[in-house]
Structure 1
Amino acid sequence: MFSRGLRFFAAVLVVVTAAGCSGESKPGASSPNSDVSSNKGEPSAEPVTLNFYTEGNASVLADTIAELVAKKYPHIKLNTTLGKGKAQIEDMVGAGQVPDLISYSLGGVTQLKEMQLVSDLTPLIQKHGFDLTRLAPGVEDNIRAFSDNDGKLILMPFELNNNALFYNKTIFDKFGVAYPKDGMTWESLLDVARQVTRMDGGVQYKGFRFEETNLVFKNQLGLPFIDPVTLRASIHNDGWKRWLTTMTAFHAIPGNTLNTKVSEKDEFIKEQTLAMRTGPNFMSELPAAVGRGGFDWDVVSLPVFQGYEGKGSQFNAPYYAIPPTSKYKDQAFQVIAYMMSDEVQQMMSKRGRLPIVKDEKAKNEFGTGIEGLKDKNLKAFFMDTVAMPAPSTIYDTIAKTTMVQKGIRGIAVDGKDVNTALRESEDDINKQIEADKAAKK
């Protein structure tokens, strides 16, 4: 009897094979499924509908993308499906509804690769004259690293996910503690967190909390999760011991315990009892919090590990991908290229989305369209640079998820020591890898 995973894989294989038999050729080559193009190699202006699947993007961003594309290319209509809930990508593919264009979070790279939903964008990049040197430093090296070191480029990220350290000035003022500064280390931040973790008037104020998955993915020490040769977990070592010990030390502060039932964002914005936090950027939500009164905030650069100053974080950004079965690859790439243009990057930057291009105007526009950001230290976001990629494998996502659940929470919530947490995490990762291998046989 087939498992759900095997049934799904079989369904994907049928869809992809059927597309291949119908005349699908290599990206960039003409085929019976390709849209008719002009002699200049430009896509036809005949009306087309691109089935666009987006996982992780808010509906407002999806709507913005559709509106921009409609104005720029009136002949291209995006039929958008928002991921999560009932609309899972695997269910759509299993039903034979493969999208023409996908927007996904970086944590889903392995999933899309296994489902054969990515293709080499190099022919399209060359055909349409897309200039990769426009990308921010380190981006191209990182996205190439996700294509199994074969030189292909299967993703096109559309914004940076740089982090900064947000802090509640009201809490610091309340306790007479100096604000955090740019260029701090995690080790020095620990002392600051202790000073603002206090019980006052029956309210427990917490010093610091981070969004766990985000910082695990950013992996500032550049450590591998899986041995690329043996495909076994590689986290029970001194490097990960240092990372885990440093980051869970914040939750060992009396009064700063990790509450997994409430997000760090809600503790910071809604409850306003968290003095400092870092994680995904939520710039657009801050003006409303300020409007409710009593909330004054600012940002400084993301702290680094002592000895790793200036080395940057691992790349972690949302991206576009074009499935190999799409009949409209040229039009899909037109959409990607336009969303990567200086014009759109500047517009998105104004709305608080970090530009992924070098364009200085786009950087200078960051946050200017959001009320109340004029005097904020927004340059702090650009101090979190992109590091060279650490060795990656198809099982990294398994390892990263386990590092959160059994590593960070094993210590912060279950009270385990770091060696036990790492050993149990490594054992669990290896079991999941073996189970995945068995399911694919």
Structure 2
Amino acid sequence: MSRSLKKISMLAMVSIMALTGCASANKPAADPGKSDETEFKVSAEPVTLKFYVNVTRLSPVEYNMFFVEPLKKKYPHITLEKLEGNLEKLVLGGEMPDLIFSDNDWHMPLRILDLPADLTELVAKSKLDLNKFVPETVQAIRNLDPNGKELQGIPVTRNAGALFYNKDIFDKFGVAYPKDDMLWSDVLELSRKLTRMADGVQYIGWDPRFPDHIISPYTQPFVDPKTNKALVDIPLYRKILELFQAHYDIPGIVSGKSYAYAEDVFIKDKRLAMQADWVLKILSQLLEAEEKGGAPSWDLVTNPTFEDKKGKGRHALSDMLVITKRSEHKEQAMQVIQMITSQESQMLMSKFFRIPVLNDPEIVKAFGTESPLLKDKNLAAITKYAPTPTPTPNIYDKEVQNLIRNMRAQMALNKKDINTVLRETQEAADKKIAELMKQ
């Protein structure tokens, strides 16, 4: 979102208050004689919860398999109504979700709209045991509150980074397959061997995707919270851009306006030998292509790192369920969360290649076992590295992130040197933040 927190929050609050008739003002005051530590009793009257998928990929099949059908069995009084469209427009139009399926990387737009409720009290009342989760997934969500007090979501599944590769291209050029625990320098060397023209086809050895993907294990913020200045022109990004520059210097990588080769080139064109990315994103697309008989012969290894982060994973990325502040059915929404984080549900999701959040070796071991398309794949690479901590988010993160990603084109197409790219991007990011702060 390009508008400032103040402007959007005010607009959202005015609209919501008008639509709800300030319902909260009509609620009776709490009885001081009653304890807050009451038993978690939820009405079994039929209720419809409005459900919105924010940015996390959730196919119709997964939605039915993981949410709709289990709810019919476990809580038949709860029905989900899936909302579609732009979230801000839905909220301002009176369509307030009760539950939002999102992730911690895209939580700030929800905070800008003042949507997430603090679930601390509901967790206590429902006796949801947070100790059963992979610790990093809960911490990633706790970190979303700058004051460190609120819990604005519950982890449902998680994501991880990995290096996917096309076995056919390696076979074609007689190059050994990638291995677990590689460094980025190892990947670069493989890319030099695999980037070549053959039979009229330009093969690309590797695509590094985005600088913020490479920086992920470092827990590096986009914005300094004390100064509201971007953190771009720093030694760490210089190190990363040196890797990008070495990549662009390989003959054949930059051709005309082509310099970035994502999943289409890897999956559809089958010209890209290696791509490091978030597992669930690429895995779902690979499996979809495989079912249609059009995917490459692929496998995966651990996400590469620099030497100083060897054995460390990308930052913790938790798919999460958020209950909205203005939901009138928070207890029923918590029942949905209880169901989806149960051992039964987590085992089901794990079997169908959703990375579980429960700290249970048997559930982790079951990952992908119900998908014959994943047979004999190096699935252990996905969870071999523990996730690293996430930095505290800032409302200007996405603006800075977009500019950081644009540094690739400045180097590859405009042939700018690293010093110039870092300086100009820093200046552009600081200018953008200053403009937004005035709105």
TM-score if structure 2 supplies the norm length? 0.88
Deviations 1:178-211 (A, max 9, x none): 1111000112211011111111000011101144
Asked whether 1:172 is paired with 2:170, we answer: yes
Deviations, residues 249-308 of structure 1 (Å, cap 9, x unaligned): 323321123876986111111111111112132324435645637832111100011111
Contact residue 53 and residue 103 of structure 1 kept, 8 A: yes
CA contact (8 A) 1:163 1:384 kept: no
Distance (whole Å) between structure 2 residues aligned to residue 214 and residue 362 of structure 1: 30
Q: 1:235 aligns with which of 232, 235, 249?
A: 232
1:52 matched to 2:54: no
Measure, in 2, the Cα distance between the counterparts of 1:95 and 1:376. Answer: 46
The alpha carbon displacement at 1:360 in A equals 1.5
* Residues 1:43 and 1:252: Cα distance change in structure 2 (over 3 Å): farther
Deviates more, 1:389-398 or 1:67-76: 389-398
Q: Rate the CA distance shift 1:121–1:213 in 2: closer, same or farther, 3 A.
A: farther
The residue number in structure 2 matching 1:222 is 219
User: Partner residue of 1:77?
Assistant: 79
Q: 1:311, 1:268 → 2: CA distance?
A: 25
Q: How many residues align?
A: 422
1:330 equivalent in alignment to 2:331: yes
How far apart, in 2, do the equivalents of 1:167 and 1:62 lie? 29
Task: Note the alpha carbon deviations across 1:337-390, whole angstroms, 9 max, x for none.
Answer: 211222111111111111122112221111111123221111000124211233
Instruction: Indicate conservation of the 8 Å contact 1:112/1:118, yes or no.
Output: yes
Moved more, 365-374 or 259-268: 259-268
Of 102, 113, 116, 1:115 maps to 113
Secondary structure at 1:50 match in 2: strand
Please say which of residues 245-254 and 113-122 is displaced more in the overlay: 245-254
8 Å Cα contact 1:24/1:325 also seen in 2? no
CA 1:426/1:147 → structure 2, altered by over 3 Å: closer, same or farther? same
Q: Which stretch shows the higher mean deviation, 350-359 or 260-269?
A: 260-269
Rounded to whole Å, the distance in 2 between the matches of 1:341 and 1:248 is 47
Determine the structure 2 residue equivalent to 1:62: 63
Aligned 1:12-161 pairs, distance under 5 A: 12-17=12-17, 21-23=22-24, 40-56=39-55, 57-60=57-60, 61-64=62-65, 65-82=67-84, 87-161=85-159
Asked whether the equivalents of residues 213 and 401 of structure 1 are also in contact (C-alpha less than 8 Å), the reply is: no
**Conserved in 1, the CA contact under 8 Å of 2:116 and 2:152?**
yes
Mean Cα deviation higher: 159-168 or 415-424? 415-424
Q: Report the RMSD for the aligned CA atoms in angstroms.
A: 2.7
Rounded Cα–Cα distance in structure 2 between residues aligned with 1:54 and 1:157: 14
CA 1:354–1:252 in 2, change beyond 3 Å: closer, same or farther?
A: farther
- How far does the alpha carbon of each residue in 1:296-330 deviate from its partner, in whole angstroms, 9 at most, with x for none? 21111000111111233222233221111110011
Give the CA deviation at 1:431. Answer: 2.0
| Alignment partners' CA distance in 1, 2:315 and 2:335 | 28
Contact 1:8–1:90 (Cα < 8 Å) also in 2: no
Change (3 A) 1:220 1:252: farther
Are 1:221 and 1:305, in contact at CA under 8 Å, matched by a contact in 2? no
Do the aligned partners of 1:20 and 1:325 also contact (CA within 8 Å) in 2?
no
Q: Name 1:278's counterpart in structure 2.
A: 276
Distance, in Å, in 2 between the alignment partners of 1:335 and 1:430 is: 42
Please list every run of 5 or more consecutive structure 1 residues that lacks an aligned counterpart in the other structure: 32-38
CA distance in 1, matches of 2:75, 2:408: 47
Distance 2:295 2:106 in 1: 39
**Residue 220 of structure 1 aligns to a residue in which SS?**
helix
Query: What is the one-letter code of the residue matched to 2:54?
Result: E
- Amino acid across the alignment from 1:49: T
**Equivalent AA in structure 2 for residue 102 of structure 1:** I
| Identity among equivalent pairs (%) | 35
Using a 3 Å threshold, how does the CA distance of structure 1 residues 113 and 213 change in structure 2: closer, same or farther? farther
Residue equivalent to 2:428: 428
Change (3 A) 1:173 1:294: farther
Unaligned runs of at least 5 residues, structure 2? 32-37
Using structure 1 for the length normalisation, give the TM-score: 0.88
Q: Deviations over 1:192-244 (max 9, x none)?
A: 1111111100001110114438716x622222221111111121011121123
- Aligned residue for 1:250? 247
Query: Cα–Cα, structure 1 residues 227 and 81, in superposed 2: closer, same or farther, change >3 Å?
Result: same
Bigger mean CA offset, 415-424 vs 387-396: 387-396
SS at match of 1:318: strand
- The 1:15/1:67 distance shift into structure 2, 3 A limit, reads farther
Residue of structure 1 equivalent to 2:410 = 410
Letter in 1 for 2:123: I
More displaced stretch, 264-273 vs 249-258: 249-258
CA 1:113–1:105 in structure 2 vs 1: closer, same or farther (change >3 Å)? same
Shift of 1:4: 11
